[in-house]
Chain A
């Protein structure tokens, strides 16, 4: 029964392989993919040792993409723990599956290699292994001040996850973190207070996951490029330059008040003394109240003008200032509207290479 199933599967895969071979000219296949195809053919031909050996060889090649690594590990797991009991190498298969869970905690086994016993073994590997995988979008456009870039992260067990950004020079910045998470998206903003937080350039995104149930830490490093053009705002003056404001009142006539006080004092005394009749002057003194009244008038005029004169309104200047202020407010409003529009339409591009750096 199993042999019959294997033969059918072999025939099917051969057809797939032939169909794939016809597309070789159209699609550039990597040597790793070719090797994995050969390994799969060997597996289907029940040559488990050969399939394991070829897949193991593929794992040693560089560059090795994450998907290829996962594929190779899946084939190895299937080859090490096939349905045939005599070919089963459970400890080795479990080790391979743990390696698979380490980089792809949510990965399933392909139909070509899996069977219930292997699925049970995979579950055991998932229970006992801490793993993390990142699946960022390759290209993300951030528009406006509030949009966030997200990096989806999956772990096999609850973990504390930290997302760090390493600039080409300078110290790293922690962008986001998550606690007790198995499936979360770490996010970060490109703009802060209307200014790009990170200038255009190449960066490294580093994810650090700390297993909360066992002393285990994993680190994944991704290459990222941020294209954040500077955001230029129109200058918005905070206040109207006082040089454009005309005086709305005349200057207080304080000096005139002092002069008026002196004149009032002197005038009163002179009036009471200088015009006196010469004959009466010899016979009687002058009116003593004149000096007191003169002082009262002098001090009253000077002090009154000093205290009461706040300047006289100048209607022309008041109207001109009103117009100036209105124009200023209008220009400020227009500048703010334009700046808000620029902020809303700001667009930054983030490219994240989903292939972790070795």
Chain B
């Protein structure tokens, strides 16, 4: 929760600057991600597929930003090795830096139904994001990569109590191309998202998971691009 508070704080600090800044982007939209999964657990390797969907929002200026996402869906079925495949993801991230390159950090929860892992993981993520507005074409390109960390229980040694230890348990990377026609506050998005995460019990991996999905999104968006700078021209006589 502390991470979530920090992320919200960073985002809120950025809001006043966003209002007065030259560059401003706000968007909120729906996401559908047809997903394929490689799952390795005690029962062995399985390949599953499914669709997760949800929504996302972004508000950012040329210095700060706030991004949030919620996804839910089913990847695989109950027959897939004691895992019914229901998945819920939610995270909130704050960004610092120019859109072309910013660092981001956030907090999220990842819940996966099943009997062999915890009901929900509290995850901390940090990484980098780059968004490039490709001019009057209406196209934008966005890349992000994050490391995902979590505090796991460490088995108690003799005479000591159980403790927690923070470690990197996964990675996430995504590419996205947005297209917004001129004077229309609607965008469509196509991209790819890859996530890899490791589940542990007693600080030992019990499940490895890869999720790769094609991101398809649509939503409303307001973009105030940076003003173009004209080159020096000859003086008018």
Which residues of A are at the interface with B, using a C-beta cutoff of 8 A?
243-244, 246-247, 249-250, 252-253, 256-257, 260, 263-264, 267-268, 270-272, 275-277, 279-280, 283-284, 286-287, 289-290, 293-294, 296-297, 300-301, 304-305, 307-312, 314, 316-317, 320, 323-324, 327
Residue of B nearest to A309 (CB): B137
Contact with A along B39-57 (1 / 0, CB 8 A): 0100001010000000000
The answer to whether A268 and B192 touch (CB under 8 A), given A275-B171, A277-B208, A289-B36, is yes
Residues of A close to B134: CB separation below 8 A = 253, 256-257, 260, 301, 304-305, 309
Q: Are B234 and A308 in contact (CB under 8 A)?
A: no
Residues of B close to A324: CB separation below 8 A = 236
Shortest 9 CB-CB contacts between residues of A and residues of B: A287-B212, A271-B173, A308-B137, A309-B137, A253-B135, A246-B233, A250-B228, A275-B171, A312-B136
Q: Are A279 and B40 in contact (CB under 8 A)?
A: yes
Q: Would you give the shortest CB distance from B141 to chain A, in whole angstroms?
A: 5
- A252–B172 Cα distance when bound, in Å, is 33
Q: Are B137 and A305 in contact (CB under 8 A)?
A: yes
Q: Are B179 and A304 in contact (CB under 8 A)?
A: yes
Q: Are A323 and B236 in contact (CB under 8 A)?
A: yes
Contact with A along B171-210 (1 / 0, CB 8 A): 1111101010000000000111110101000000000101
Partner of A276, one of B138, B139, B210: B210
Q: Are B177 and A275 in contact (CB under 8 A)?
A: no
Q: Would you give the shortest CB distance from B135 to chain A, in whole angstroms?
A: 4
- B residues 131-161 in Cβ contact with A at 8 Å: 132, 134-139, 141, 143, 145
A–B Cβ pairs within 8 angstroms, 22 of them: A247-B230, A250-B136, A257-B134, A260-B139, A271-B175, A271-B192, A271-B193, A272-B212, A275-B172, A276-B210, A280-B45, A280-B210, A283-B38, A283-B40, A284-B210, A293-B191, A297-B190, A301-B134, A304-B134, A305-B135, A309-B137, A311-B135
Residue of B nearest to A271 (CB): B173
Contact with A along B210-228 (1 / 0, CB 8 A): 1010100000000001001
Partner of A283, one of B45, B137, B171: B45
B119 sits at the interface (CB 8 A): no
Residues of B close to A257: CB separation below 8 A = 134, 137, 139
Residue of A nearest to B173 (CB): A271
The answer to whether A309 and B212 touch (CB under 8 A), given A271-B192, A324-B236, is no
Residue of B nearest to A308 (CB): B137
Residues of B close to A256: CB separation below 8 A = 132, 134-135
The answer to whether A271 and B210 touch (CB under 8 A), given A244-B237, A250-B228, A284-B38, is no
Q: Are B236 and A244 in contact (CB under 8 A)?
A: yes
- A294–B175 Cα distance when bound, in Å, is 9
Q: Would you give the shortest CB distance from B104 to chain A, in whole angstroms?
A: 16
